Structure 1
């Protein structure tokens, strides 16, 4: 699989293959010395699995995006990967153009989720990982402004920054500012985590369309 990804990336304009690792420990060490923009992370590896490696990389190197690429589309692997900080999740049978688009999306700060795992993501958020807000948090722990809530809603419909700007009749810089405040208020680092947290708190409903 690593060789296939290497061939795809080396043949694509604008992409550069920096190297590879055979386990999670090597992946973490590689990031320390090479500072890649995006890491393509398998979930099942010897010595240290992809979830633990993703958590360490996203915590210690916040400028590096992690894209999980795995054979498993089930909630058992999907939710831990996203919670560890992965900005995207693809299955290994994804077409080369989908892989390249996902890498670019992660690099641009967007979410990248295979269509084949979207159903699992939505079901996991709705059914398996509810946030139990304690009494100190109150009934409405997150207070988003009208514009911030609108950004979160558009994000749930898969809109990128330029599409949000057009629909809201504002600049992309304004959208980015709103989105940054949404991430800060939700206490998350990226768009995927914002959708998970927003759904958990009932701030947004995810759709399949």
Structure 2
């Protein structure tokens, strides 16, 4: 009895394996862009990963890899790929999750596969968009790290906003939570209204 390769499902169960072609790459790119807000580099990485996972022939891999840049440029022309929008979306998501601005910028640049400078330029606008009316007694211009830390605590019901009451143990946990989010201890102390 001949040995059957475990990964080749076409020999075992009669299922036909779809070959990777330029047309299929276009469809994958289109579906990916419809589903997510992506940057050009993120789309290129996704398509390259799919080519290397699904195509076994090295010559065909090389041909399809060269085709990826053309497909990415086509998606940019259609307006489906936008580095600015991808970076802005990731940055706003990180800010609303409670990350400090510096850490939010770093994570957004990494996740969106864009330059750090682009994300740093977007930061003031993203803070305004994410927290247009953060609290009743605040003006839009005075959003700083302390206010962002307080908003993160309020959103997660931690620190002074804890419903079940504060204790030394809960304060330690909340301080650790804010430190993991990238805030310095001075900012944490002010945001949590801790005494010196």
* TM-score normalized with structure 1 length: 0.26
Give the TM-score taking structure 2 as reference length.
0.28
- Where is the strand percentage greater, Structure 1 or Structure 2? 1
Instruction: Give 1 or 2 for the bigger CA radius of gyration.
Output: 2
